[in-house]
């Protein structure tokens, strides 16, 4: 697990139910994750020892293409990689090469780094022009879900509550912690 915020911890709870050994990397360890028995390790150890790597972190300048050629080279053969965070956390061309050489055994993508023209309207009658996306989608062991990870009752309630809370803070003349300036 890379990223142990609220969503990462929710995923860890699910994985714990399968009896998995829980390894994680996060610069800010979570008390909730530690209570689940998570062992925090560095990225090199996580790559080397994990059968499944799931991304649950924001995209920053520091982690752009976090999973790149060098990262894939350190991973176990046949690793399952899941990204429900931000598309640009994965170097898509490097992922294609890792799939081709069976370094990645399965790839689940709810997000894709060049998704803007792909996921937000019906493209079923269009020829996709993105060659990297076309190559990934042609692989039998790649699954795209097109931004469906957020579409749960819990997530929508949380989004609504946060939005209403933000509006209330602004209406009260308070500083909003989620303000975009």
Choose, from 56, 115, 134, 154, the residue flagged as catalytic: 115
Instruction: Report the number of secondary-structure helices (H) and strands (E) in the chain.
Output: 7, 6
Q: Is 49 a catalytic residue?
A: no
125 token code pair: 């009658």
CA distance 113 to 111: 7
Q: Is 56 a catalytic residue?
A: no
Choose, from 21, 35, 86, 154, the residue flagged as catalytic: 86
5-13 long-range contacts (CB < 8 A, ≥24 apart) are 5/30, 5/56, 5/57, 7/56, 7/84, 8/33, 8/54, 8/56, 8/57, 9/33, 9/36, 11/54, 11/56, 12/36, 12/38
Query: 3-state class of 139 per DSSP?
Result: coil
CA distance 93 to 124: 24
* Distances from the Cα of 33 to the Cα of 46, 91, 176, angstroms: 15, 27, 28
Q: Is 86 a catalytic residue?
A: yes
Choose, from 121, 134, 147, 154, the residue flagged as catalytic: 147
Question: Which residues does the annotation mark as catalytic?
Answer: 86, 115, 147
């Amino acid at each position: 697990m890379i990223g142990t915020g609220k969503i990462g911890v929710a995923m860890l709870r699910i994985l714990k139910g399968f009896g998995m050994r829980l390894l994680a990397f996060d610069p800010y360890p979570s008390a909730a994750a530690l209570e689940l028995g998570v062992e925090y390790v560095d990225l090199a150890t996580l790559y080397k020892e994990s059968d499944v790597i799931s991304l649950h972190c924001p995209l920053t300048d520091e982690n752009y293409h976090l999973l790149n050629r060098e990262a894939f080279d350190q991973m176990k053969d046949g690793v399952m990689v899941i990204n429900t965070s931000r598309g640009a956390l994965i170097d898509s061309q490097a992922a294609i090469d890792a799939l081709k050489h069976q370094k990645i055994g399965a790839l689940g993508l709810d997000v894709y780094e060049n998704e803007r023209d792909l996921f937000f309207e019906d493209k079923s009658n269009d020829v996709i022009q993105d060659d990297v996306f076309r190559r990934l989608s042609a692989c039998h062991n790649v699954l795209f879900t097109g931004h469906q990870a957020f579409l749960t009752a819990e997530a929508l309630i949380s989004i609504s509550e946060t939005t209403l809370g933000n509006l209330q803070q602004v209406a009260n003349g308070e500083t909003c912690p989620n303000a975009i300036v």
